[in-house]
């Protein structure tokens, strides 16, 4: 996945962590597409969740990253898009399992509840983990189906 664009967004509560993770993405060889927020001034999280989720849903990016205070608002918004599997993650282990078992395509972090280094560790684990497929593919397929 190196060299690929990854849209990244946050509200005001996630702004500082977003800036840290943008640098980490660049160090890993990715091209972060910062959709905002562009300061710690109060903003509305759905604007940024929609901007990232739309890029992933329409195929302009394979994966995206979002953060807000709890991660809940970003998760509610992003998961409304078809084909989005946005995972609210707070440990590296959950990040890996969200990829391996659920093929998560948007990482969501609760910025007020994790330290910056923990956010970096989560990001790295999520980026590195492949989707296991197999029995997990059957389950992921059922998410979008009517049966």
Residues annotated as catalytic are: 68, 101
DSSP assignment string, the chain: -TT-EEEEEE-GGGHHHHHHHHHHHHHTT-EEEEEE--SSS---HHHHHHHHHHHHHTTS-S-EEEEESSSHHHHHHHTTSTT--EEE-SSHHHHHHHHHTT---EEEEEGGGS-HHHHHHHHHHHHHPPP--THHHHHHHHHHS--
- Residue 85 main-chain phi, psi, to 5 deg: -125, 80
């Amino acid at each position: 996945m190196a060299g690929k664009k990854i849209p990244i967004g946050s509200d005001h509560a996630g702004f500082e962590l977003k800036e840290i993770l943008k640098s980490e993405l660049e160090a890993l060889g990715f091209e972060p597409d910062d959709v905002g927020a562009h300061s710690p001034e109060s903003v509305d999280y759905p604007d940024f969740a929609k901007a990232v989720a739309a890029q992933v849903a329409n195929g302009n990016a394979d994966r995206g990253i979002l953060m807000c205070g709890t991660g809940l608002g970003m998760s509610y918004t992003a998961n409304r898009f078809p084909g989005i599997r946005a995972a609210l993650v707070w440990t590296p282990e959950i990040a890996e399992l969200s990829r391996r078992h659920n093929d998560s395509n948007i990482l969501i972090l609760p910025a007020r509840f994790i330290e910056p280094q923990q956010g970096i560790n989560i990001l790295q684990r999520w980026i590195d983990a492949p989707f296991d497929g197999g029995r997990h593919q059957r389950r992921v397929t059922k998410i979008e189906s009517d049966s």
